[in-house]
Structure 1
Amino acid sequence: MKVLLLTGSHPRHLYVVNQLAKLGIITAHVKEVREEFMPQPPGYLEDIDRTNFIRHFADRDEAERRHFAGNEEVKTEIPTLQVTHVTLNSSETIKWVKEQTFDLAISYGVHMLSKELLDVMPAHSWNIHGGLSPWYKGNTTLFWPFFMLRPNWAGMTVHRLTSRLDAGEIVHQSVPHLAYGDGLHDVACKAVMQVAEDLVQIIQNTPLREIPYVPQKGNGKLWIGTDWIPQHLRFVYNVYNNDIVDQFLDGKLPRMDPPIISALRKEE
């Protein structure tokens, strides 16, 4: 099998690249240089929200450095095209992709692909989405399960690439193991690590022709960027002090498990 990857440039994205590269199957990599990882708090915030904003993104940076240490760059020599948000769907990118040889394309952490770029992708083209679709489609989808007090719904979805955002048929979903002491960002990082591990197993053990594609049922929820505001952080940090996982594991929060679709689970 030969695989084309289209990913962002943050360590979480390059961690997935490095895990899959160990299989020796990555023939090409389109890397989109993403925005700065540490945003500045908006000037209009009250002190409580400014403090939470700084804490939230500092904690995210610390967690990602800890979980993805050593993945600041790709460790294997792979033909790579570096692009920006502006040039991701350019004619030059499309031409470069058409010149590569691959059976499977996987995107993770890039902006939405144009119809023209999707048209040069193979029949088996997947996206790794940080969130369980259809309930958490769109943006900030590893935050909202915590806001809803359902940390066990913070997971990842591998689905078929389509022109509709996070709406393609599902290949696989995964959720990480929750442990005492896990904060919001620990769970988000562990979700990425789990889906990378699962993808390695799927690619190693399942021929593409046997991959099941499961249509998404129901409309779910598409979370847009403007749904999230810094004041939402008060709930996670001031009400719960980021100990939602501990309270969940202690049985202080109601438990309802997500109906996971797994390409690793064989039907009886």
Structure 2
Amino acid sequence: MRIIILTHDKDRHFYFCNQVIKNTNNVVGVFTGGKNIYNNLNKKKKFFKILKKKKFINYLKNKLLNIYFRNYGNEFIKEKDEAEYLFFNGSKKKFLKQYSNLLITSVKPEYSNINNPYYVSLIRELKPDIILVMGTCLIGKEIINSAKHVINLHTGLSPYFRGGYSNLWPIVKKKYNMFGVTVHELSEGIDSGNIFFTCQPELNENDNYGTINCKCIQLGAKKVIESIGYIEKNSLNSIEQWMKGNLFFNSDWNNYIAYKYFKNKKHVIFKSIENIENNSQSEIYLVNNGKKIDV
């Protein structure tokens, strides 16, 4: 069983790598910088591209909101960074010390992104049985077709919340108990493939988006490792996503969203804890090896 990992370059991504390598002994290569998308357009050309796509109003709105709510945006980043430091500090250093021989390459500007034919050829040379994905840009069909099993770790509860910051939007939108992590078959859509596992973190009153997301990464790593075990036994099952849910893009984010997050944070987390204690959660289904479970 030959496994490769496509991921990014923060401590949280190296934590994932360390856990998989330690618990499987089957990893033959790691590619980092997977979130990078290098665009050779200069700033002037990028601006005219925005005008051409008629996105100028949204572009201008986000610029103004980012200026007006800048302090909330900065506080959000600080809170998130502090949580990741608490949970994952030292993971990159540990990887480079113990597993640097497995690092194949990192995405570089001359090859634009992980889907470039250069990286596809490197991936295929390793002849993987399993490709694991965490924290990259959207993966194309050339990579998807490079292994029998391509598995994504999505920090969000699919199908309810897909895309970026999926454990943040339940707070912003006041959707209680919608935090979680999903391990699913990678498809060309965004977090839309058939689901192997979903699970939810234990919450406490001191939690915030950052700590919730970090807990989900830890849970997700365990479920990815569990999925590999099922593959080895030829007994991994999946289920098609039963609804479209909510899909968010990076362009949906601005500092006003950070303001709404801080406004709603305590209420949504406290209410979610209360719902769990009273066994009064809204209708949520989790997935265990492809079996849909009523919470």
Q: Using structure 2 for the length normalisation, give the TM-score.
A: 0.78
Q: What amino acid maps onto 2:9 in structure 1?
A: S
The residue that corresponds to 1:127 in the other structure is 152
Q: What amino acid maps onto 2:198 in structure 1?
A: Q
Alpha-carbon RMSD? 2.8
Does structure 2 retain, via aligned residues, the 8 Å contact 1:169–1:215? Answer: yes
* Matched position secondary structure for 1:5: strand
Q: What amino acid maps onto 2:272 in structure 1?
A: F
Does structure 1 retain, via aligned residues, the 8 Å contact 2:73–2:259? Answer: no
Q: Does 2:91 match 1:71?
A: yes
Superposition deviation, residue 128 in structure 1: 1.1
The residue that corresponds to 2:9 in the other structure is 9
* Matched position secondary structure for 2:190: coil
Superposition deviation, residue 210 in structure 1: 0.9
Work out the CA distance in 2 between the residues paired with 1:100 and 1:9: 21
| Partner deviation per Cα, 1:33-90 (whole Å, 9 max, x = no partner) | 656xxxxxx8634887222111100111111111111112424231422114714112
Rg (Cα) greater in structure: 2
Q: Does 2:142 match 1:116?
A: yes
Does structure 1 retain, via aligned residues, the 8 Å contact 2:34–2:114? Answer: no
* Matched position secondary structure for 1:51: helix
Superposition deviation, residue 4 in structure 1: 1.0
Q: Does 2:59 match 1:59?
A: no
Does structure 1 retain, via aligned residues, the 8 Å contact 2:115–2:143? Answer: yes
The residue that corresponds to 1:83 in the other structure is 107
Q: Using structure 1 for the length normalisation, give the TM-score.
A: 0.85
Superposition deviation, residue 250 in structure 1: 3.9
The residue that corresponds to 2:272 in the other structure is 248
Does structure 1 retain, via aligned residues, the 8 Å contact 2:238–2:291? Answer: no
* Matched position secondary structure for 1:153: coil
Q: How many residues align?
A: 259
Superposition deviation, residue 29 in structure 1: 1.0
Work out the CA distance in 2 between the residues paired with 1:92 and 1:46: 37
Structure 1 unaligned spans of 5+: 36-41
Q: Go from structure 1 to structure 2 and tell me whether the alpha carbon gap of 1:142 and 1:266 turns closer, same or farther (over 3 Å shift).
A: closer
Superposition deviation, residue 139 in structure 1: 1.8
Does structure 2 retain, via aligned residues, the 8 Å contact 1:153–1:257? Answer: no
For 1:53-202, list aligned pairs within 5 A: 53-73=73-93, 74=95, 75-76=98-99, 77-84=101-108, 86-119=112-145, 121-150=146-175, 152-202=177-227
Work out the CA distance in 1 between the residues paired with 2:233 and 2:171: 34
Sequence identity, in percent? Answer: 22
Does structure 2 retain, via aligned residues, the 8 Å contact 1:202–1:264? Answer: no
